Amino acid sequence: MIATYLKILRTPKTVISTQFLSCQKDIVRIGLQIEGKVKKLFCGALAIREVDTGSSNAEEQELSALSNSYYDIERFGISFVASPRHADMLFVTGPVSRNMADALRKTYNATPNPKIVVAVGDTAFDGGIFKGSYAVYDGVDKIIPVHFYIPGDPPSPSRILCSLLEILEMCDGIRT
């Protein structure tokens, strides 16, 4: 036990600081306009709920990498929560298979206002590699209104993180 503690103390910090993240400003705002004051609310504390609507799980792997000690999303006040009732933002991945359409709608309805919907990955934007299949609706915006989209198949954790920071900065900018 003591050896573990000493090892923890001796391990150098590996958290990637924000200026070293290669930030590409690839955000596409789809759908509704959000009132300025709504975005203000999320400064400092953002609760995210992941919804997987039939994706290849690649996006989920990248999303779970956000909580490790390299990217450490928690330091920005962002956390992943267990229930859409607790969430401010929905990360939707996957092209929305027919089986998950109802579940996605219920999740959206279960999230209290004000909320932001972010489609993560190319499949969530327009179906991606599954585009045109009979088993999917091509893209999340066919089922629920989407506010932002993070491109990539899958987007790397640094791109997700940068995009999130851009979203939060947008709310910062409007406040100042």
State the residues that interact with other proteins by CB under 8 A. Answer: 1, 4-5, 8, 11, 13-15, 41-42, 44-45, 47, 68-69, 72, 74-77, 79-86, 88, 100, 102-104, 106-107, 109-114
In angstroms, give the least distance from the CB of 70 to other proteins.
Answer: 9
Q: Which is nearer to other proteins, 3 or 132 (CB)?
A: 3
Residue 38 or 58: the one with the smaller Cβ distance to other proteins is: 38
Nearer to other proteins, 18 or 133 (CB): 18
Handedness of CA 110, 113, 115, 117 (dihedral sign): positive
Q: How far is the CB of 117 from other proteins (least distance, A)?
A: 15
Beta strand pairing status for 28-29 and 148-150? antiparallel
Residue 132 beta carbon to other proteins: minimum distance, rounded to whole angstroms: 25
- For the beta carbon of residue 176, count every other beta carbon within 10 angstroms: 4
- Nearest to residue 135, comparing CAs of 96, 90, 92, 176? 96
Residue 11: count other Cβ atoms within 10 Å of its Cβ: 9
CB of 28 to other proteins, least distance (A): 26
CA neighbor of 84 nearest in space, from 50, 129, 135, 54: 50
Q: Which is nearer to other proteins, 15 or 28 (CB)?
A: 15
Q: How far apart are CA 166 and CA 14, in angstroms?
A: 23
